[in-house]
Amino acid sequence: DQVKGVLTLQGDALCQADINLKMPRNNQLLHFAFREDKQWKLQQIQDARNHVNQAIYLLMNRDVNYQFKTGLEVLKLMDAVMLQLSRARNRLTTPATLTLPEIASSGLTKMFTPALPPDILVNFYVNLNKLCLTVYQLHVLQPSTTKNFKPAGGSILHNPGAMFEFGNQRYEVSHVHKVECVVPWLNDALVFFTVSLQLCQQLKDKISVFSSYWNYRPY
């Protein structure tokens, strides 16, 4: 109930965001949206696409009439392709860990109109087949309360009580709101990655079986 909104994801770009946030301490309703001239690129999807392109390149950079000479040559190719496919899948299943100062200094903070208030941080990321939005509400730590200051390290999701320093000011996270929605084509992509890796492994298994027969020498 604290965060509601509409996001538009086209490929690797969040091209529209319209978010309403209810502040717990005073029930004030804040509204902020992407500037019309701005899009936010999701690095995870870009990286996954780059790994897929690399896998395609590995498969296609031979002459159409090229013939493999040994099973080992095929196995090496499959290992290289599977490495790229695994990395692509992992980029969608494992969001990056970020520190709070990294989130605060991200270009994402400059995407909104009206500008985000200084006590609000937002972050978008992909987790499996879901697009996630996290909103952090902050309060300023007074000099008298900073004797126990311990800055938080990198994390996918920071909990209330996490502290950090940014712009010569120390903050503590007071509230965290996370909302997420399923993106059907991300689900399809994860299924295709799994099927592709299975097909590569099946080919490797067949090559290994045939190679064992080839190397067999009856006495």
Q: Is residue 110 part of a domain?
A: yes
* Confidence category of residue 219, pLDDT binned at 50, 70, 90: very low
Asked if residue 113 belongs to a domain, the reply is: yes
What is the number of domains present in the chain?
1
Instruction: Check whether 218 has a pLDDT greater than 60.
Output: no
Q: How far apart are CA 191 and CA 128, in angstroms?
A: 11
Would residue 75 count as lying in a domain?
yes
Among 30, 40, 37, which residue's Cα sits nearest to residue 7? 40
Calculate mean pLDDT across residues 145-171. 87
Count other Cβ atoms within 10 Å, centred on residue 111: 21
pLDDT mean across residues, the chain: 88
Contacts of 201 (CB under 8 A, 6+ apart): 78, 82
End-to-end CA distance of the chain: 77
Q: Residue 23: inside a domain, yes or no?
A: no
- For residue 64, give the DSSP letter: T
Q: What are phi and psi of 53, to 5 degrees?
A: -60, -40
Strands 120-127 and 40-41: unpaired
Provide the domain limits for residue 166. Answer: 42-206
- How many residues belong to the chain? 219
| pLDDT tens digits, 27-78 | 788 888 888 887 889 999 999 999 999 999 999 988 888 888 888 888 999 9
DSSP string over 115-155: PPPTTEEEEEEEETTEEEEEEEEEEEPPGGGGGG--B---B
pTM of the model: 0.83
71, amino acid identity: G
The answer on pLDDT for 145 being more than 70 is no
Q: Mind listing the pLDDT tens digit for each residue in 87-138?
A: 999 999 999 899 999 999 998 888 888 888 888 999 999 999 999 999 999 9
Cα torsion 149, 150, 154, 158: sign? negative
22 in any annotated domain: no
Pairing of strands 40-41, 13-22: antiparallel
Q: What is the pLDDT of residue 70?
A: 85
Within-domain flag for 133: yes
- pLDDT for residue 213: 62
201 in any annotated domain: yes
Task: With beta carbons less than 8 A apart as the criterion, state whether 60 and 43 touch.
Answer: no
Residue 10 is assigned to a structural domain of this protein: no
